[in-house]
Amino acid sequence: MTAMLEVKDLEVSYGKIVAVKGISFSVEQGQVVSLIGTNGAGKTTTLRTISGLLRPSGGEITFMGQRIDKVPAHDIVTMGLAHSPEGRRIFPRLSVEENLLLGAFARNDHGAIRKDLDAAYELFPILGERRKQPAGTFSGGEQQMLAMGRAMMSKPKLLMLDEPSMGLSPIMMKRIMSTVTELQRQGTTILLVEQNAQAALKRADYGYVLEVGQIVLSGSGRELLVNDDVRKAYLGED
Ligand code: ATP
């Protein structure tokens, strides 16, 4: 079986700084795959490159059997790859519903868009209750829900989430993480980037550990959770 997403020898630079140094990994259809690593490991850079927001200086990215490393970002969305960015990037003055509709910018199947809005409100009822409210009045966790709901409005086959748990209370984090499992159950494949290794590996079918631009370890979520090096470096155990 060929993977849904295949990243091969990916290298990404900011001028002279090489942030991603030739990494390879894949995401199979139906999986939750986690990419973990500390600050500056290159996780965000990797996601932004897959989305087409940055261009690689080397390597290949293949999605659904097609090379996408030279495809414009908006066409990548249309192909079925969505990105919920680090820091959420919601539009604070727009209403919840307007923010969600921005996620459907590449679609013109208006009837289906309405149905998907309802699906987003079912996934996160608070979004439905406050659909007319400016998004800037939301808490961090609610904004995270909105960012995920907005990404889902493009009807992605693969959803990439950049640090969804950042800055959230334990309860809200649990809520967000259980949504990841729910989206997987509904058929969405997920690439999850997290500094919170525990939360990310618990739900992952497979995981990769990124350190200073290189993959240093990979394995099933379960294997990585019990791995001594992972436990010491990422789970705060000695
Ligand atoms: P974080 O969790 O802090 O976002 P990360 O693993 O996502 O970390 P990146 O943001 O991808 O890491 O950063 C990887 C490396 O690239 C870091 O050394 C960072 O300083 C550098 N970097 C990121 N963005 C830029 C930029 N716009 N210009 C120059 N260097 C950058």
Distance (angstroms) between ligand 1 centre and the Cα of 20 equals 9
Which positions ≥6 away from 31 have C-beta within 8 Å? 184, 189, 190, 205, 206
CA 111 vs. chain centroid, Å, equals 27
Q: What is the pLDDT of residue 235?
A: 78
How much is the pLDDT for 238?
63
Find the 148 Cα to ligand 1 centroid distance in Å. Answer: 22
Q: Which of 52, 43, 53 is nearest to 19 (CA)?
A: 43
pLDDT for 87 equals 79
How much distance in Å is there from the Cα of 123 to the middle of ligand 1?
Answer: 32
Cα(125)–Cα(118) distance, integer angstroms: 10
Counting from 1 in the atom list of ligand 1, the atom nearest the Cα of 48 is 11
Burial bucket for residue 196 (CB in 10 Å: 0-12, 13-18, 19+) = buried
| Digitized pLDDT (tens) for each residue of the chain, 238 residues in all | 689 999 999 999 999 999 999 999 999 999 999 999 988 899 999 999 999 999 999 999 999 999 999 999 999 999 999 999 887 788 989 999 999 999 888 778 888 898 999 999 999 999 999 999 999 999 888 999 999 999 999 999 999 999 999 888 889 899 999 999 999 999 999 999 998 899 999 999 999 999 999 999 999 999 999 999 888 888 776 6
Compute the distance between CA of residue 88 and CA of residue 106 in angstroms, rounded to an integer.
19
Give 128 Cα–ligand 1 centroid separation in angstroms: 35
- Ligand 1 atom 10, closest CA: 44
Task: Report the pLDDT value the prediction gives residue 233, as an integer from 0 to 100.
Answer: 84
- Outline where DSSP puts E strands in 50-108: 58-63, 66-67, 81-84
Residue to mutate, 11, 12, 17, ligand 1, most ligand atoms under 8 Å from C-beta: 17
Neighbours of 66 (CB within 10 A): 10
